[in-house]
Amino acid sequence: MKKLVKWCAVLLLVAAAAMVVVYRAVNQVPSPELPQYEQVYEIFEEGGCLSCHSSDPKLPFYAKLPVAGKIVMKDIDSGYRAYDIRPFMDALKVDGEFSPVDLAKIEKVVLDDRMPMPKYYLVHWGSSLTEAKREIVLGWILKERAEMYADNLPESRAGEPVRPIDSALEVDEAKAALGFALFHDPRLSVDNTVSCATCHALETAGVDNHQYSHGVDDQLGGVNAPTVYNAVYNFVQFWDGRAKTLADQAAGPPLNPVEMASESFDQIIAKLKEDKKFVKAFNAVYADGLTEANITDAIEEFERTLITPDSRFDQWLRGDDSALTAEELEGYELFKKYDCATCHVGQNLGGQSYELMGLRRHYFADRGLELTNEDNGRYKETQLERDRHRFKVPGLRNVEHTWPYYHDGTRETLEEAVRDMAIYQSDVEMTETETDKVVAFLKTLTGKYQGKLLTNDTSRDVIHDHDHDH
């Protein structure tokens, strides 16, 4: 009996040693001869990322088995809802351009050692991330960030997923002046009562602080108006991303029957042409005069001036250690810890991707309000089921002044917005202390417009329109 036990022990040791040898053989780092981006591609391809995070997953043979198949399909559904890695992998193949969101999400997963899941790499031995593979990926991300941003941050800040706002952007001053006039001109509306500034007032942080904006005849829109400040940094405009540029966005509200309700740009142009001084000024800048394209171009040029640099957080990013308090720095670390900085990245701390509202918990089920067409988000434009309830991520610059929050304007305070976002997006129930620290950090994102710190003195007593139909 003792000999049998001894032999069994020997066999187990031999088997374990063989498994180690096999594991090392199949989990080699890519050749250093390859370009860095090809090394990263190989790591993620062998890691099986496309097996779950793709619309066309590579199904393993065991996906056809009854029990295993259910587990596999659940993981695929969850993975694809959270992140579609296909565009990132396609860009890696050719060393293309990468979204700051892709870099942030990949970095966080690698740092937290979340992927691949143990139940995947226990079956696919070569898929787990060794320390050597982690170093390759993280080193590549640092290189990409350095190439993406020409901000020359100190080494201690160079790896941060967020960046300072530019001190200024190049603009055509003459066009911007026309755009300023048009932005504040109610003649863009059918009854000369509503301008762009009605919903995006510069003195109230670029918003109107209503749950839903009021258009002509006091009609209510269906979504909360996002701030116009720093919109130039968004990769698309509107919550549903239907406008690719600021000019495209500017063309929408004048003809929207709820907002400005003009019949056509011809109608708008006819009214503007009655203003001889304005026509003369316009013709001096645009050779072909008043046209829809020129009107929206001028507004776009003006909106390029609406940036708010030099926040205290920007000062810290540029190397000023005294710019933030200990509490605010702790808030920033929590902001990163709880995955906020995987979507709220770049110069605007957002506006770079579409994300699912209610990724980890069912936001709309808990909200208790009837679903509206606006709640469909990106789905309205694509008709893809994956895009239902997916929205452009809002930028967080000056967020302390842009209440109420979310696309539906249902959160009155920044504390509520932070706490509930952690629940629904990260499945984290933050303590009151943690919430206060994150809010303290977010308040450091208030920047300066034309050299003056942005403020908003609007009374909070009139912001909500819960009782209105919309």
SS3 237: strand
Q: In the chain, where are the structural domains located? A: 20-148, 173-303, 312-462
**Encoded tokens for 11:** 């066999």
| Crossing angle (nearest 10°) for helices 86-93 and 100-112 | 100
Residues 83/97, Cβ–Cβ less than 8 Å: no
Decide: 259 and 213 in contact? Cβ < 8 Å: yes
For the cut 60, the answer to whether the pLDDT of residue 292 exceeds it is yes
Picking from 415, 405, 416, 410, the residue whose alpha carbon sits closest to that of residue 350 is 405
Instruction: Specify which of 27-41, 115-129, 373-387 reaches the highest per-range mean pLDDT.
Output: 373-387
Catalytic residue chosen out of the listed positions 42, 107, 144, 259: 259
3-state SS assignment for residue 118: helix
Kindly tell me if the per-residue pLDDT of 259 is higher than 70. Answer: yes
- Quick one: pLDDT band at residue 461, thresholds 50, 70, 90? low
Higher pLDDT pick, 21 / 125 = 125
* Average pLDDT for the chain: 89
Confidence grade of residue 118 (pLDDT, cut at 50, 70, 90): confident
**pLDDT tens digit string along 135-184?**
999 999 999 998 888 778 999 999 999 999 999 999 999 999 999 999 99
E strands present in 239-335: none
Give me the long-range contacts of 111-120 (CB less than 8 A, separation at least 24). Answer: 111/138, 115/47, 115/49, 116/47, 116/48, 116/49, 117/75, 119/71, 120/48, 120/51, 120/75
> Could you read off the pLDDT of 301-345 as tens digits, one per residue?
999 999 999 999 999 999 999 999 999 999 999 999 999 999 999
**259 included as an active-site residue:** yes
* Per-residue confidence (pLDDT) for residue 317, from 0 to 100: 97
User: Which whole number is the average pLDDT over 375-384?
Assistant: 96
* pLDDT number for residue 71: 80
| Lowest-confidence region among 118-132, 157-171, 408-422 | 118-132
The pTM for the full model equals: 0.89
Say which CATH superfamily domain 173-303 falls into: Cytochrome c-like domain (1.10.760.10)
- Residue-wise pLDDT tens digits, 347-357: 999 999 999 99
The confidence score (pLDDT) of residue 70 equals: 82
Please enumerate, as own/partner, the contacts of 364-372 that have beta carbons within 8 Å and a separation of 24 or more: 364/389, 366/424, 367/408, 367/410, 369/408, 369/410, 372/222, 372/470
Q: What is the pLDDT of residue 457?
A: 82
What DSSP character marks residue 465? -
CA angle 123, 125, 126 (to 5 degrees): 135
pLDDT at 377 over 60: yes
- Nearest-CA neighbor of 328 among 416, 444, 420, 161? 444
Q: Is the pLDDT of residue 8 over 90?
A: no
Sorting pLDDT into bands at 50, 70 and 90, what band is 58?
Answer: confident
CATH architecture of 312-462: Orthogonal Bundle (1.10)
Q: What backbone torsions phi and psi does residue 346 show, to the nearest 5 degrees?
A: 75, -160
Q: Are 157 and 317 contacting, i.e. CB atoms less than 8 angstroms apart?
A: yes
pLDDT of residue 463: 52
- End-to-end Cα separation, the chain, in angstroms: 81
- Asked if 417 and 410 count as a contact pair (C-beta separation under 8 A), the reply is no
Query: Is 27 within 8 Å of 126 (Cβ atoms)?
Result: yes
What angle is formed at CA 383 by the lines to CA 378 and CA 389, rounded to 5 degrees? 35
Report the amino acid identity of residue 257.
P
Higher-confidence residue of 456 and 151: namely 456
Could you give the percent of the chain with pLDDT greater than 70? Answer: 90
Which helix or strand (DSSP H or E) is residue 363 part of? helix 363-367
* pLDDT (0 to 100) of residue 25: 44
Same fold, 173-303 and 312-462: yes
To which residue do tokens 């029990």 refer? 67
